[in-house]
Each structure stands twice: as structure tokens, then as C-alpha cells.
Amino acid sequence: AMLRPTVLLLSLVAAAAFAPSALWTRQGRHASHAATSRPGLRSGVTSIAMKDWSKRATLAEKEGGMDDKGFEAVGLVGTIPVVFEQEAKPVVPKKSLWRKVFRRGPSKRAIAAAEAANKEQPKVRKLNTMAIAGQPLSEVAAQAGQYIRYSCGKGECGTCEVRIDGQWERTCVKTVPHVPKGEELNITVRPGMIEVKKSTAFFSFSSFVSGFWNNALGMVGFVKESWKGKQNFQDRMSAEEELKAKVAARKAAKAQE
């Protein structure tokens, strides 16, 4: 009589344990049958569709953008032409991995490639759009594709400052001013205000070498500091021994008196 509840409990546990596996086996059998039943596939072979990582063309590249069809064709509404001007940031020569590790400068080939790239790229990049008087300047910059770096969003820090008619204005709180008919609003953006691409790789060969180099430098520094500390400790111990000897000599002199 005592064994019946135990047997019943064990049977329930076994049923709960084997039921999901049986269901998974049944589903897996159906999935494999569906995969092998496709025409043109051998038995047991499934088709794998690899993801296309190539850059896709934008709508402007497919059907034509503002420069090809005009402002009204792409849905831009406004009476004030706005031009964002930004000086191109010079291309910096790239360093190889071993030059980064050993703190060397860039190679002559990298310097020549950077100079050629600086000659080829335009010195000033211009982006055109249309705006309405009183429209927030941040919206105008976004629809033109001009990157603006923001921080506070309240007009206090000055991170988003651009130059309009010789004066620095803050994009987050500035609106499009009234411009006479036939004229355009020129906005100058700082050269350093560019979008920085964030690295998504958690581990790379460069990070491994840099970590090894930093740890090696830390170990060398630890050995140097420990050696200096050992010398200081020995000097302090010798000074204490001399002090003990002087104190013992004074006590002996007092005892003889």
C-alpha cells in the first residue's frame, strides 16, 4: 500500500520527461519529411539560404533622387533653399598592426595612399534641401542627410553649433529664419562633425595582441616596482638596526654610570 503513491509519482515524472522528446521527434520527423519531399533535393539534404550581406541600394539610387527629379518630385515642400556645407575631413594614414604594437609611425605607402585620397575627395561637401520659415533646423538637417552631433538637446552645451551668416547657432533650438525670395540659406558645419562607426566585433586579432602587450607592460612595471620596494625595505631595515644599536649603546652607558 505504501508503494502505490511512489509508483504513481514515478510514472507521472517519466511521462512528463518523455512527452516533450516524443513531441520533438514527431515534429522533427515531419520537418525532415517536408524538407526531403521538395523536388530537386536528395533524401536527407536540406536547402540552406545564406543571408546576403551586400549593401542594398537606396530608393534614391533605384528611382532617382532630388538631384535628378527635383525637390517636388521627392516630396520636399518649402520655399527656402538650404545648403549645408562641410569641409571634408582629411584622410589619416593607417597603421599596420605591428606598427601599432611597437609604437611606430605609418609606412610610406600608407602616407602616399592618404595623400592621394585627400587629392581625390572634394574639399567641401554640399547637401541641398528645401525648408519652410520657422521649421526646426534639426529636422531640415535630418531630411538633407546632414549628420549633426547632439548632446543636451536644450541649447546649453553647444555641441550642435553650426555657422549661419557668420554666427554660431545651436541646431537643437534654432529654426529656419526668413530668407528673401531668390536667395538661399547657407549653413556651415564643422569638419569634425562626422558620424563615427562603432565597432561591433567583441574579439579580434588586434585586440588579442593589444591585450597581450598591455599585460606584458604591466608585468614589467610590476617587477620594476617590486624591485624598488625591496631595495627600500632593505634600506629601512638597515636604518632600524643602526637605531637599535645606538639605543643599546646609550642604555649601556647609562648603566655604567
* HEC readout, 118-135: HHHCCCEEEEEEEECCCC
Q: Which three cell numbers stand for residue 214?
A: 598591455
pLDDT digits 0-9 by tens, 127-170: 888 899 999 999 999 888 888 999 988 889 989 999 998 899 99
Quote the percentage of the chain above a pLDDT of 90: 13
Q: Is the pLDDT of residue 205 over 80?
A: no
pLDDT digits 0-9 by tens, 89-101: 788 888 877 777 6
Q: Is the pLDDT of residue 251 over 90?
A: no
Q: Which three cell numbers stand for residue 205?
A: 586579432
pLDDT level of residue 217 (50, 70, 90 thresholds): confident
Q: Pick the residue with more confidence: 250 or 42?
A: 250
Q: Is the pLDDT of residue 173 over 90?
A: yes
Question: Is pTM, for the whole model, over 0.85?
Answer: no
pLDDT level of residue 199 (50, 70, 90 thresholds): low
